[in-house]
Amino acid sequence: MSTAMFGAPVRRHEDARLLTGAGRYLDDLGHRALAAAFVRSPHAHARVSDIDVTAAAEVDGVVAIFTYEDLTGRMAEPLPLLIPHPALHAPRTAYPLARGEVNHVGEPVVMVVARDRYLAEDAAARVVVSYDPLPAVVGLPAARSARHAVHPDVPDNVAAHLVQAVGEVDTAIAAAPHVLELDLEIERSASTPLEGKGVYARWNSDEGSLRVYTSTQASTSVRAAVAAKLGLPLVKVDCIAPDVGGGFGVKIVHPWPEEVLVAWAAQRLAALAPEGIKWTEDRWEHFVSSAHERGQLQHVRVGFDSDGRLLGLDVTIWHDNGAYTPYGIIVPIITSTQLLGPYKPGAYRCEFFSLYTNTVIVTPYRGAGRPQGVFAMERTMDAIADHLGLDRAEVRAVNFIAAEEMPYDQGLIFQDGRPLIYDSGDFAATLDKLKALVGWSDFQAYREQARAAGRRVGIGLACYVEGTGVGPYEGGHVQVETSGKVMVATGLTSQGQGHQTVLAQIVADELGVDFDDVEVTTGDTRRFGYAVGTFASRAAVMSGNAVALAARKVRQKALRIAGEALEADPSDLEIVSGVVRVKGAPASAIPLSTVAVLSNPLRYAFDEAAKAATQFAVGDTSKPPVAEDDEPGLEARDFYSPTQSTFANGMHAVIVETDPDTAEVRVLRYCVVHDCGPLINPMIVEGQVHGGVAQGVAGALYERMVYDDAGQLLNASFMDFLMPYASEIPTVEIDHLETPSPLNPLGIKGAGEAGVIPGSAVIASAIEDAEGFVIRRMPISPSELFELRASYAAGRVPGLRRTSGERTDPRTRPGHSPDNDSPDNDSPDKET
């Protein structure tokens, strides 16, 4: 570790380029390509009875128009079900272009290829599609009622049904001294990266090969999908993720219809499109034809003792998966398992129904089901605390898994099909840090002081555990060039997180070279063909460890070759700033660039340095120039494949102020304590937390998808979809705890999603505290808070015990025994 880059707040390699407009995003490529545009369904549910392209074909500049009928071979099959699961008993995926039926507004029906996008849109506007509208299933109540079905062969709209249980929850709850029930609701939002999707494909007729650029989080897998759909050998398809302007989950889904269609058309129209075909998604398309997340209804039944300790937790979830299930049921599986957070639930049972609706598909968005699970658990914790008249932090603390209980097996199966075993964490320590950071104990006085001045303030907290670094594997390739530059490649992609910087930090340390001499390439199948993708807060854990392992191999080889050259034992050597030298005798040294030259025995010397590696320069004629178990070159690749995910955790606390007159909610303080193990680059981790918190606040106070009953998305623009501006986001105060993971060589855990996870839970907690009545539904707008206040005043929304004077700490109530506390069992906390 001569350079000690690991842990340093290094400025990002990427920024000079990206911040000065020198980034190369999808739409910066292929300026001479033809353009594709799509005719999309204006109906949420309809049969397609006829498509008339006559008028469209007459538009000057139109090259081709395709409908489902034109699709050939495997293109005519449904798009793949990426992640099958035994509980997903009725999976459905779309066709690349609608085959006789559309199931959400925005579903692609016709593809137009023209000289430019304007002409393509003009032509698309002239395509006449005749629809026979069908009843639309919009929203979870409609899906559950099953009065109408999204897919006729799935009459109950249930795509998947899964029950996981640990212990006997009914028995545990029946025996519990206290029982509460909560009905919860969380609405849709979406990843909404500033750059939408896009794909640019070019067929090379001379080579019979295809190059696909796509704004994706999984270029290796897009490559495989496109090759399969087009019937091409994998080696004839390259797939490259250029600079990607944000993903947040939506770009892990693949292949999108447009990805295969543009690639297919590029091959089919090769003679007419020598520069390829490009499609850049516009904002409206992104809203109605990519993916959303978060929409769930939840019912919680919880039994607990008088200290607030969970005895039995029974959760039922109705999850809105939209029109199709290409990404399987990852989101509700994560909700139902990560719901447990840092707690021991006693007996636990979680049942979910994943339901079809005639809306945009639901696939992971940063947090990926965790925000909903944390919402359920943390609303429950607050309800327990209020019911018992206990401090909310205290109730959480009594339920924590202790640090000495790690690793801790929750007894469930996680999203990767492996046991849910927490590897590390010290939750009590995290809570202590958070309480100190936000001033938890002093808040009571502050609240009373504010109230006396006519202000309403409240404090909330929420805890989460996040499985990160999910497998199966990532790989890395590290090559020292004869210039001394170190070229690193990993297959997973970057969407702006800073992988080029972080991976370079790791390799610089492992290899003993300068950070500036390391250049990292991500997401380019020409450089690295095996990868899974960037999601699940996994890039640093997976590719970080993979490049570290590859760098260690390179280091070993460099020491061996240098040892031969310096006639020294490799164990006596060190590498400092790109120079291999004898420890304690730095004059006896050889630069890595020279080692790279020596690693590759040459017949031809192409420059002065290369002469050193030619056949007449290299010594021992009794040995083959390349040993039997060796390879030329100072390079190596390696893979990291863990047995299970690693579990990061954190806790957030916020202080909000609600305007007594306008019901505006202002976040006065937002505090985060976060444990992702050792920080590779604290500045990048904090940036990740800031961005995550921004999306958490967004989901709690601003963003939602407003569908009308007919399935029209009413706010499909940034004018009406209220992605917050910087002006809406509070200053984020961060403290870290660094408990290393025992699972990987670097001891690290993921950090990408953490900031977003408890957003709705913690803000609901604080609003509830400020207002004195229960909050069961998020997000919440000022208008909704205003209406809730009216409902509370009218007695339709229950108040908190702690503010309505019903404080009844059963431990201190005279004559209390669990047996006579039965009213709890009969007065479940009803839906608001």
Partner 1 sequence: MSGGRITALKPAPFGYSAPASLAEALAVLAEVGEHAKVLAGGQSLLPLLSMRLAAPRHLVDINRVPGLDRVEIVDGSVRVGALVRHTDLERHEGAAAAQPLLRQALRLVGHPTIRNRGTCVGSIAHADPAAELPGVLVVLGGRVEASTAWGSRQVPAAEFFLSPLETALRPGELATSVSFPVAGPRTGTAFVELSRRRGDYALVGVAAVVELAPDTSISSARVGLVSVGPTPLLVDLSEVLVGRPGGARELAAAAALALEHAEPEADIHASAQYRARLVEVLTTRALAQALANASHEEAA
Q: Which residue stretches of 675-780 are H helix?
A: 682-701, 759-771
CB of 822 to partner 1, least distance (A): 40
- How far apart are CB 481 and partner 1 at their closest, in Å? 44
Residue 718 or 822 with smaller CB distance to partner 1:
718
Nearer to partner 1, 193 or 425 (CB): 193
| Nearest-approach distance from CB 111 to partner 1, in angstroms | 14
Looking at the DSSP bridge assignments, the partners of residue 300 are 182, 315
Comparison of 198 and 484: residue with beta carbon closer to partner 1: 198
- Provide the token pair at 541: 């854990």
What is the pairing mode between strands 419-422 and 585-591? unpaired
Nearer to partner 1, 287 or 647 (CB): 287
For residue 500, how many other CB atoms are within 10 A of its CB? Answer: 20
Note the helical H segments in 9-116.
15-19, 54-57
Between 53 and 551, name the residue whose CB sits nearer to partner 1.
53
| Nearest CB to partner 1, comparing residues 283 and 816 | 283
What is residue 619's three-state secondary structure?
coil
CB 200 within 8 Å of CB 212: yes
Q: Please, what is the minimum distance in Å from the beta carbon of residue 122 to partner 1?
A: 7
Beta strands in 593-645, from DSSP E residues, in sequence order:
635-640
Distance from C-alpha of 100 to C-alpha of 131, rounded to nearest angstrom: 9
Q: How far is the CB of 664 from partner 1 (least distance, A)?
A: 7
Q: Which is nearer to partner 1, 516 or 720 (CB)?
A: 720
Residues that bind partner 1 (CB under 8 A): 37, 40, 42, 117-118, 121-122, 124-125, 282-285, 661-664, 702, 706, 708, 712, 714-717, 719-720, 722, 724-725, 727-728, 781-783, 786-787, 790
Taking 3-state DSSP, the helix, strand and coil percentages for the chain, each rounded to the nearest 5, stand at 30, 25, 45
Query: How many angstroms separate the CA atoms of 25 and 673, rounded?
Result: 34
In the complex, the smallest distance separating the C-beta of residue 113 from partner 1, rounded to whole angstroms, is 15
CB of 783 to partner 1, least distance (A): 4
Q: Give the integer Cα–Cα distance in Å for 285 and 282.
A: 5
By beta-carbon proximity to partner 1, the closer residue of 392 and 704 is 704
734: enclosing H helix or E strand:
strand 732-736
Q: What is the 3-state secondary structure (H, E, C) of 211-225?
A: EEEECCCCHHHHHHH
Cβ proximity to partner 1: between 716 and 774 the closer is 716
Give the pair of three-digit tokens for residue 420: 């849910």
Least separation in angstroms between CB 367 and partner 1: 22
DSSP 410-479: EEEE-TTSSEEEE----HHHHHHHHHHHHTGGGHHHHHHHHHHTT-EEEEEEEEEEEEES-SS-EEEEEE
CA-closest candidate to residue 479, choices 522, 532, 524, 519 = 519
- Looking at beta carbons only, is 117 or 776 nearer to partner 1? 117
35 vs 465, beta carbon nearer partner 1: 35
**Shortest Cβ distance from residue 694 to partner 1 (Å)?**
13
Give the chain's largest Cα–Cα span. 98
CB of 728 to partner 1, least distance (A): 6
Helix (H, G, I), strand (E, B) or coil at 303: strand
**Which CB atom, from 41 or from 649, has the smaller least distance to partner 1?**
41
- For the chain, what is the radius of gyration of the CA atoms? 29
Sign of CA dihedral 521, 526, 530, 534: positive
Least separation in angstroms between CB 187 and partner 1: 12
Whichever of 200 and 422 has its CB closer to partner 1, that residue is: 200
Q: Where are the beta strands (DSSP E) in 532-641?
A: 573-576, 579-582, 585-591, 635-640
* Rounded CA separation 323/143 (Å): 11
The two beta strands, 635-640 and 474-480, are antiparallel
DSSP bridge partners of 347: 312
Q: Is 606 or 725 the residue whose CB approaches partner 1 more closely?
A: 725
What gap in Å lies between CA 806 and CA 822, rounded to an integer? 17
Q: CB of residue 800 vs partner 1: minimum separation in angstroms?
A: 23
Residue length of the chain? 832
Closest contact distance (angstroms) between CB of 530 and partner 1 is 37
Terminal C-alpha separation, the chain: 57
Q: 323 in helix, strand or coil?
A: coil
- Give the 3-state secondary structure of residue 575: strand
As measured in angstroms, the least distance from the Cβ of 268 to partner 1 is 24
